[in-house]
């Protein structure tokens, strides 16, 4: 999750508003992990790879439930926060600052997750859709992979070019634009605090279901199921995000 512009910090760097995202509550995390645990259907101490782990909310909750978790993310700020939070939670997670496209392992994993907008993010190194192959290579035969990304057409139909969030002496002004040729959504965040102003940039490619399934099958996955939420409802055109669950071919 590194910046695509040297002059504007990436959304996931020091001071990121993502670290205090008001919607990423403990209750939401527990609900999401309930779904993931059901889909992955793994025994205790199973090894799980969390790609684009951010500040570790999924990794930490999985570790609480007895799984052996590795969380990777290219952002030093996110990994530092994840390590601090795992210590505070009293759990052990192997957090590593590493890009998913470069990740390799000699000890294969029983499952992998890649959530939020991680898949398709744009950085100075280009997009990271190639990480599907690396994730597949890191999994045991028959292992499950859960991938979550925004659903393109629904996201665009609800796109707000400008938005103001927050109140009082802490506000965020968001500007959004979409490049239809490259299918890339850009979000610029201007964070206004009492005594300072910060700017951040987030860019990621948007997909439809067919494109995403093509990436997965070409990487070596099969038996792909699609859901529209963490309650397990089937994917519809009205869902803002899509959850795909795939298995590595044997």
pLDDT tens sequence across 46-102: 999 999 999 999 999 999 999 999 999 999 999 999 999 999 999 999 999 999 988
Residues in the chain: 250
How many C-beta atoms surround the C-beta of residue 19 within 10 A?
15
Confidence class of residue 21 from pLDDT cuts 50, 70 and 90?
Answer: confident
Cα separation, 141 vs 16, in Å, equals 37
pLDDT at 6: 44
Q: Are 185 and 201 in contact (CB under 8 A)?
A: no
Poorest-pLDDT segment among 26-40, 119-133, 206-220: 119-133
Q: Are 14 and 4 in contact (CB under 8 A)?
A: no
Contacts of 172 (CB under 8 A, 6+ apart): 17, 164, 165, 166, 189, 190, 191, 192
CA 147 to chain CA mean position, Å: 8
pLDDT exceeds cutoff 60 at 140: yes
pLDDT exceeds cutoff 90 at 168: no
Average pLDDT of the chain is 90
pLDDT exceeds cutoff 90 at 44: no
Does this model's pTM top 0.85? My answer is: yes
State phi, psi for 112 to the nearest 5 degrees.
-145, 150
pLDDT at 9: 63
In order of their start, the domains of the chain are 17-150+207-248 (3.40.50.150), 156-201 (no CATH)
Cα separation, 166 vs 198, in Å, equals 14
Of 74-78, 197-201, 235-239, which one has max mean pLDDT?
235-239
Poorest-pLDDT segment among 40-49, 119-128, 129-138: 119-128
Q: What is the mean pLDDT of the segment spanning 178-182?
A: 95
Structure tokens at 96: 């590593």
């Amino acid at each position: 999750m590194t910046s695509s512009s040297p002059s504007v910090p990436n959304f996931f760097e020091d001071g990121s508003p993502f670290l205090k995202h008001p919607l990423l509550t403990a209750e939401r995390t527990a609900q999401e992990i309930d779904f993931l645990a059901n889909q992955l259907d793994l025994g205790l101490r199973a090894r799980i790879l969390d790609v684009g782990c951010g500040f570790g909310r999924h990794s930490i909750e999985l570790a609480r439930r007895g799984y052996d978790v590795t969380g990777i993310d290219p952002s030093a700020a996110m990994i530092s926060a994840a390590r601090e939070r795992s210590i505070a939670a009293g759990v052990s997670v192997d957090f590593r600052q590493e890009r998913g496209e470069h990740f390799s392992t000699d000890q294969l994993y029983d499952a992998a997750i890649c959530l939020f907008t991680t898949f398709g993010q744009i950085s100075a190194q280009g997009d990271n859709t190639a990480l599907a192959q690396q994730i597949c290579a890191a999994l045991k035969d028959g292992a499950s992979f859960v991938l979550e990304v925004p659903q393109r057409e629904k996201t665009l139909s609800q796109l707000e070019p400008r938005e103001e969030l927050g109140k009082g002496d802490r506000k965020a002004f968001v500007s959004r634009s979409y490049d239809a040729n490259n299918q890339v959504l850009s979000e610029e965040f201007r964070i206004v605090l009492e005594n300072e102003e910060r700017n951040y940039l987030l860019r990621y490619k948007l997909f439809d279901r067919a494109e995403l399934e093509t990436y997965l099958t070409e990487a070596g996955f099969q038996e792909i199921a699609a859901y529209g939420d963490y309650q397990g409802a089937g994917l519809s055109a009205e869902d803002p995000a899509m959850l795909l669950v795939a298995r590595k071919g044997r």
